[in-house]
Structure 1
Amino acid sequence: MAFHPAGRSADLADSAPTTDATVTTVASVVGADTVPTDADAVTLRSVLSATPSLRLRLGDTTVDLVDSHAVLPDGTVVLAVDAMSPTGGLLVATRGRPGAVRLDVTQLIPVTVRSRVRAKAWVRGTARRFDPGSLDYCDSDTILSLLDLPPVALWAVEPAEVGIVRDSHRLTVDIGAYRAARPDPLAADEAGHLQHLAQRHRDVVDRLAALVEPALTARSTRIAPVAVDADGIVLRAERPDGHTDVRLPFARRVARGADLVEGLRTLLAGATRH
């Protein structure tokens, strides 16, 4: 995969740091070493918060948990696992052991395209029984997410080491940056936004494609929206022999899903002028 800044490298390369895992940086394209940034911490928090499932590793045992986790404001991951189940028994056995628990998440592009894996996130930490006192530091959305968990025992996994794997680069993210970061405002609803665009608003995607360098669109068989975050939208130009992802930044950061329409409208106005 290649990353191409829509033929305007000065404008897009200097835009706000991307929080999206599908777009490679210029450094990674040319094979340079990649250094984790605060944007990587935001990506990691976004992946953990938005994914419906994750893989729990306890020693040699691996269990897939679906709709059974939530993330607290400080980055602690809460798991809902029946203490009387085999998995619960393993959590009891490893409780308090530093780094004995590993969580893995694969982030996929939520529309039908080739090469759907954006990134793989991992968390290694220590499992403890969930402390109800933690609720005093949670916002209303976090409390609601905890209430949506299955009515079984809750376990808190306190992260000790976190990171992401993206474009064959393994990045260990600073734990302080991870705890201080917050998920991208659109992360939870990104899949719905992209699917709606791809299925119901093909005309909008085609108009946005006017902002992509003509040399790319001329060789492409399809243009598809593959990512959207608070700072912009990513279009993929697919070719028979590969694809190129192009990031189109919004004029202003989108703080909530309700503002996304305005961000797209501004881009469409630019596409019309273009």
Structure 2
Amino acid sequence: MALHPAGRPTDLAHPPHGTDPLAADGHDAAVVARSALSAATSLRLAVADAAVDLTGSHAVLPEGTVVLAVDAMSRTGGFLVAARGRTGAAQIDVTHLVPVAARSRVRARLRILGTARPFDPASLDLCDGDTVMSLLALPPVALWTVEPTRIRLTRDHDERTVDTGAYRAARADPVAGDEAAHLHHLTGRHRDLVDQLAMLLDPTLRASSARVLPIALDADGVVLRAEAPHWHTDVRLAFPRRVAGAAGLTEGLRALLAEAARAARSPDRTSRPAGSTCDCDLLSG
């Protein structure tokens, strides 16, 4: 069960404000799909009887077309040549994972059926600088595009079709690409601040937990997981406002830390007071 910071049950798919990129309904499902692709470091490509796991070999164009770097001399590359232009002949599978060591790491599974074609360099004219840089970072082999024709998203055993128009119009959560680095930094360099954020959890939940760790970070807030040997509970802590980048994330986290400090000083709290908030950049250094 998930708990609101005040102790009330809450639905993590619907925070108090903004759009939760982990939700899977309508437009939000398209955001989940785009975020999963943005965050993934690897994916599986299947064409005809060939399948290959690609690591660090994909990028996503602004309208959602997936660019793949595939060796033309490989078996999969040969099948791509044979399948080019055939609707839905290429299949891409992505598993969206919690990027830190924890149980129940699978957030969502994404399957894209699409049409494969050789990459058209003219597409670069429609790309922003970040997309161009991601394309330049791909391995120096043949580039292919897969234009999605059918998208299936599975989350919490609920499988649904994502509208391709909504997918093309959506954008990944602005934090998705850097979420893993930010979470590893928080857990590795700012464990004391994670403990301070835990002051916003229900005292009973905190007292019965073996550990608390951040498992998700997006433009709307941070999700803490309270773990015990045989159970866990995820709690979303919402930022005061939706953020657009690292600077906003730091301010959002500082706001939560200030709230945690106030909660720790509250007379109805029995836990130790939280430490003072940090003036450093919480996501770097």
Does TM-score exceed 0.5, indicating one fold? yes
Q: 3-state SS of the aligned residue for 2:64?
A: coil
1:48-97: CA deviations, max 9, x gaps? 01211100011332210111111000000011112222111000111111
Please report how far the alpha carbon of residue 15 of structure 1 lies from its aligned counterpart in structure 2 after TM superposition. 2.3
* 2:74 aligned with 1:79: no
User: Which stretches in structure 1 are left out of the alignment for 5+ residues?
Assistant: 22-34
TM-score (norm 2): 0.87
Please report how far the alpha carbon of residue 269 of structure 1 lies from its aligned counterpart in structure 2 after TM superposition. 0.8
8 Å CA contact 2:57–2:139 kept in 1: the answer is yes
What is the aligned partner in structure 2 of residue 178 from structure 1?
167
Q: 3-state SS of the aligned residue for 2:131?
A: helix
CA distance in 2, matches of 1:205, 1:10: 21
Please report how far the alpha carbon of residue 128 of structure 1 lies from its aligned counterpart in structure 2 after TM superposition. 0.8
CA distance in 2, matches of 1:115, 1:206: 22
Please report how far the alpha carbon of residue 8 of structure 1 lies from its aligned counterpart in structure 2 after TM superposition. 4.9
What is the aligned partner in structure 2 of residue 212 from structure 1?
201
> Which 10-residue stretch deviates more, 248-257 or 58-67?
58-67
Please report how far the alpha carbon of residue 190 of structure 1 lies from its aligned counterpart in structure 2 after TM superposition. 0.6
What is the aligned partner in structure 1 of residue 56 from structure 2?
67
8 Å CA contact 1:5–1:13 kept in 2: the answer is no
CA distance in 1, matches of 2:158, 2:10: 25
Please report how far the alpha carbon of residue 129 of structure 1 lies from its aligned counterpart in structure 2 after TM superposition. 1.0
* 2:176 aligned with 1:187: yes
Paired residue type of 1:228? L
What is the aligned partner in structure 2 of residue 25 from structure 1?
none
The correspondence for 1:234, drawn from 209, 223, 237, is 223
Structure 1 segment 9-88 matched on structure 2, within 5 A: 13-20=15-22, 36-88=25-77
Higher relative contact order (CA 8 A, sep 6+): 1
The size of the alignment, in residue pairs, is 260
8 Å CA contact 2:3–2:10 kept in 1: the answer is no
CA distance in 1, matches of 2:101, 2:71: 35
Q: 3-state SS of the aligned residue for 2:52?
A: strand
CA distance in 2, matches of 1:119, 1:259: 26
Paired residue type of 1:124? L
What is the aligned partner in structure 2 of residue 32 from structure 1?
none
8 Å CA contact 1:185–1:255 kept in 2: the answer is yes
CA distance in 2, matches of 1:20, 1:210: 24
Please report how far the alpha carbon of residue 9 of structure 1 lies from its aligned counterpart in structure 2 after TM superposition. 5.7
Tell me which stretches of 4 or more aligned residues in structure 1 moved more than 4 Å: 8-13
What is the aligned partner in structure 2 of residue 134 from structure 1?
123
Paired residue type of 1:5? H
Paired residue type of 1:173? V
Taking only the aligned residue pairs, the percentage that are identical comes to 60
TM-score (norm 1): 0.90
8 Å CA contact 2:152–2:160 kept in 1: the answer is yes
What is the aligned partner in structure 2 of residue 256 from structure 1?
245
Q: 3-state SS of the aligned residue for 2:103?
A: coil
Please report how far the alpha carbon of residue 240 of structure 1 lies from its aligned counterpart in structure 2 after TM superposition. 1.7
Please report how far the alpha carbon of residue 10 of structure 1 lies from its aligned counterpart in structure 2 after TM superposition. 7.9
Please report how far the alpha carbon of residue 3 of structure 1 lies from its aligned counterpart in structure 2 after TM superposition. 2.5
